[in-house]
Amino acid sequence: MTPAARVAAAIELLGEIAATGRPADRVAADWFKARRFIGGGDRRAVSLRIWAVLRARARLGWWLARAGAAETPRAQVLAWLCLGEGLALPALERLFDGATFAPARLEERERGLAAALAGQPLDHPDQPPAVAAELPGWLHARLAAALGEHAAAELAALREEAPVDLRANAVKAGREEVRAALAREGIEAEPGRWSPWALRIDGRRPVAATAVFRNGEVEVQDEGSQLVALLADAQAGMRVCDFCAGAGGKTLALAAAMGNRGQIVACDVRGGRIDRAAQRLKRAGVDTVRRQVLQDERDPWVKKHKAGFERVLVDAPCSGSGTFRRNPEAKWRLSEAGLAELTALQARILESACRLVKPGGRLIYATCSLLPEENEAQVERFLAARPDFAVLPVAGVWAERLGGAPPAAGPFLKLLPARDGTDGFFLAVLERKGTAAEALHPSTGSG
């Protein structure tokens, strides 16, 4: 591809992302799949540019509005080339030259726009805080309030690109073994800060193409996700339910924590996601997982298996506000009404999934959100309705599983990107009162 064709491709792909409203990574994957003639180098260059534009969307929009220009994908890319890549008018005219595969020639008003933006920085002191933080106004207000003294550092971190973490699959190999194998394939990795499985690699490397990935010795997984699975404290021989298993990221880690012994039931309402988990489980050498597609959270399967599990992980559907580094466009798809729907769903899931926990067993509630309405408030509401559950302070679980102390004090685990180097996560461990014997004669009538 010529440099101009790469620009044209970025404009086209951004248009597709805006039009479909689907997650940008999936739209991009489908777009490249339909254009297999685009080689690896071109693909990387186009991807880098569209992610850069998506990450800078609010600031680019602010500059475009100031110049009186509409916020189209073409204008966004033009503004990015000026403000993010430092190109001036002559270079832009060479890219927008109207040749085959190149973007159409610049119009007069676009030349004016480029002249107005040339030499300007992307960040400007007049930008409102929400624009500078790359967040919708309502969400900026909520996150800033929730993060308090951490707001400046964490909101800045959420704007940046996330690191790439790997999880050595303990079912097949130790961390040092995996690290050495990756090094032999040219990928340097450093041990993570918290999880005994974690390796962090430098930048975007083709991990999926390595032999060590293909034979299931390593998975791509944020260190925060690994900690959630470790703190679920699933042990060999236990019966564990992963209620919102999705494509099985945490299921795989739970199985590794259990030494691939015991039984895990991976549930989800999306059958397609669980099917994707099947391939990953096979590659990882995990054979303790049964898959269960649920109609909804109150599927009769739940009642049938009440008090049947020592551990129930609810990795709830959430705003994903702790992972905005990875999905920079997700925040623009979220609305206040959508958030209210999510919190109502989380409450319904907790209310139903808790029935699966044996007396003496644990319900682990996790989100990748930084918003208290999805986290602490959700747990408080649940505990008020279910006095047969009590909070198990996370520090004790952390000390037992990982040694030492969690990053911050408090009954729950809260991970913050800038402070802890992970995605943002929340985790609460709730123990069901009573002993295992009571499981046969549960005293609460709610089933």
Ligand X SMILES: C[S@@+](CC[C@H](N)C(=O)[O-])C[C@H]1O[C@@H](n2cnc3c(N)ncnc32)[C@H](O)[C@@H]1O
Between CA 264 and CA 5 the distance in angstroms is 49
DSSP bridge partners of 309:
357
Q: Are 93 and 110 within 8 A, CB to CB?
A: no
Candidates 82, 241, 244, 368; catalytic one: 368
Q: Which is nearer to ligand X, 31 or 365 (CB)?
A: 365
Q: Does 270 bind ligand X (CB under 6 A)?
A: yes
Active site residue 318: no
The answer to whether 439 contacts ligand X (rule: CB under 6 A) is no
Q: Which of 166, 247, 258, 312 binds ligand X (CB under 6 A)?
A: 247
Q: What is the largest CA-CA distance in the chain?
A: 79
Q: How far is the CB of 295 from ligand X (least distance, A)?
A: 9
Nearer to ligand X, 133 or 207 (CB): 207
Is 30 annotated among the ligand-binding residues? no
**Cβ at position 114, least distance to ligand X in Å:** 42
Q: Binding site annotation covers 242?
A: no
Nearer to ligand X, 83 or 244 (CB): 244
CA of 255: how far to CAs of 207, 274, 281, in Å? Answer: 22, 15, 9
Q: Is 244 in the site for ligand X (CB under 6 A)?
A: yes
Give whole-number Cα distances, 195 to 86, 188, 231, in Å: 40, 18, 10
Is residue 446 within a helix (H) or strand (E), and if so which, with residue range?
none
Tell me the three-class secondary structure of 152-177, residue by residue: HHHHHHHHCCCCEEEEECCCCCCHHH
Per rule CB under 6 A, is residue 291 in the interface with ligand X? no
Tell whether residue 296 is among the known ligand binding residues. yes
SS3 state of residue 307: coil
CA 379 – CA 205 distance, rounded (Å)? 39
Provide the 3-class DSSP secondary structure of residue 244: coil
Name the CA radius of gyration of the chain, rounded.
Answer: 24
Shortest Cβ distance from residue 251 to ligand X (Å)? 7
Tell me the per-residue interface mask from 206 to 235 with ligand X, x by CB under 6 A, - otherwise.
-------------------x----------
Residue 201 found at the interface with ligand X (CB under 6 A): no
Q: From the list 269, 278, 391, 408, which residue makes contact with ligand X (rule: CB under 6 A)? A: 269
317 binds ligand X (CB under 6 A): yes
Three-class secondary structure of residue 189 per DSSP: strand
3-state secondary structure of 423: coil
Looking at 30, 107, 296, 341, which residue binds ligand X (CB under 6 A)? 296
CB of 248 to ligand X, least distance (A): 6
Spatial CA neighbour of 413 closest among 268, 251, 226, 143: 226
294 binding ligand X? (CB under 6 A): yes
Residue nearer to ligand X on the CB measure, 260 or 319: 319
Compare residues 9 and 294 and give the one whose CB is closer to ligand X: 294
**CB-wise, 29 or 399, nearer to ligand X?**
29
Query: Which pairing describes strands 263-268 and 289-293: parallel, antiparallel, or unpaired?
Result: parallel
Tokens of 148: 């308090």
Residues that bind ligand X in the complex, under the rule CB under 6 A: 225, 243-247, 249-250, 267-270, 273, 294, 296-297, 315, 317, 345, 349
So which residues are the catalytic ones? Answer: 368
Task: Cite the annotated binding site by residue number.
Answer: 268, 296, 315
